[in-house]
A and B are shown apart, each in its own frame.
Chain A
């Protein structure tokens, strides 16, 4: 695949993910819904699986996580923005690790049962792994230091908190894989304006939200 085409795809998918975390995630949290579980189980899962199906490039989901996490740092008004940014980046990395042994056309996931199982494993590991990473890195980067005993006593709670995300992932992955049957083609001359335009719009709306929320 053309390197520029890949980078533009990485930028647009990462920006949509970051935008979802900042704007939709914030609204979900404000209305009392489990935003973390929904963002990981629905949005992160859908975007990473879709990008993997379309682009079939190793490292893309890690790059998306870095872009989405970077965008999350621009929306410091709801929740812990450093924790969230770290969790998003960790989710991208964990997705790459979990899906490393799977082929890019996902021929292993033939049945709905296998797809649901993979969705459960992926969503749970991403959520719990991201949670653990934030618990370790946040105190190291911006707090008074990391204390292992604080993580150990809280581990049962972290492991339990991933259950809802796992269930969501088990539903969302088979649903997302239906896009394989949809023929989406973007003409070459429209590809760059669309991807760059959508990316700029995502960043613009998040930064605008930063200013309006700060007023």
Chain B
């Protein structure tokens, strides 16, 4: 097949892949007001009521929220240092972190995680779940 035919076909494939992916993302987006932590549902108010607050320094200035390590203790995670934690956003974005990361992390009132160390890729927006592995 010549380039004159192949290039438009590939462009059409690209548009179809992008379009169907957009439809799939829209259809599977999670919309809920609670955050699942270790398979239990919590509202953001409950989380803020039961956990200690913390302020950390990030590359984007000071950020305040509840301490993620304290939250893990309060929701009853046994041996928290023995686990990894996957933080999931409502759009499907997720990042897995170790306990050392969790110890330097916070969850803000608008459902975003921040860490004092590591890249910004770990600042997950619209958190809907923290899975304990």
- Main SS at interface, chain A: helix
How many residue pairs bridge A and B at CB < 8 Å? 101
From 14 to 59 in chain B, residues with beta carbon under 8 angstroms from any chain A beta carbon are 14-15, 17-19, 21-22, 24-25, 28, 59
**How many residues of chain A are within 8 Å of chain B by beta carbon?**
40
Tell me if A114 is interfacial: C-beta within 8 Å of chain B: yes
Asked whether any CB of chain A lies closer than 8 Å to the CB of B91, the reply is yes
**B86 interface residue, CB < 8 Å from A?**
yes
A80→B119 contact, CB < 8 A: yes
B interface, size bucket: 20 to 34
Given known A-B contacts A83-B120, A121-B10, A144-B101, A154 and B21 have beta carbons under 8 A apart: no
Chain B, Cβ-Cβ closest to A117: B11
Looking at B1-9, B66-74, B75-83, the stretch in contact with chain A turns out to be: B1-9
* Smallest CB gap from B22: residue in A: A160
CB of A82 within 8 Å of the partner chain: yes
A160, B120: Cβ atoms closer than 8 Å: no
How far apart are the CA atoms of A154 and B119 in the complex, in Å? 18
From known contacts A83-B119, A153-B92, infer whether A114 and B7 are also in contact, taking CB-CB under 8 Å.
yes
Any chain A CB within 8 A of the CB of B109?
no
**Inter-chain contact B15/A120, CB cutoff 8 Å:** yes
CB distance from B23 to the nearest CB of A (A): 8
A positions within 8 Å CB-CB of B: 76-77, 79-80, 82-83, 101-102, 108-109, 113-114, 116-118, 120-121, 124-125, 134-135, 138-139, 142-145, 147, 149-150, 153-154, 156-157, 159-160, 162-163, 166, 170
> Could you write out 24 A-B pairs with CB less than 8 Å apart?
A77-B59, A83-B120, A83-B121, A109-B7, A114-B4, A117-B8, A117-B10, A118-B11, A121-B7, A121-B10, A121-B14, A134-B121, A144-B100, A149-B96, A150-B94, A150-B96, A156-B21, A156-B25, A159-B21, A160-B24, A160-B25, A163-B21, A166-B14, A170-B11
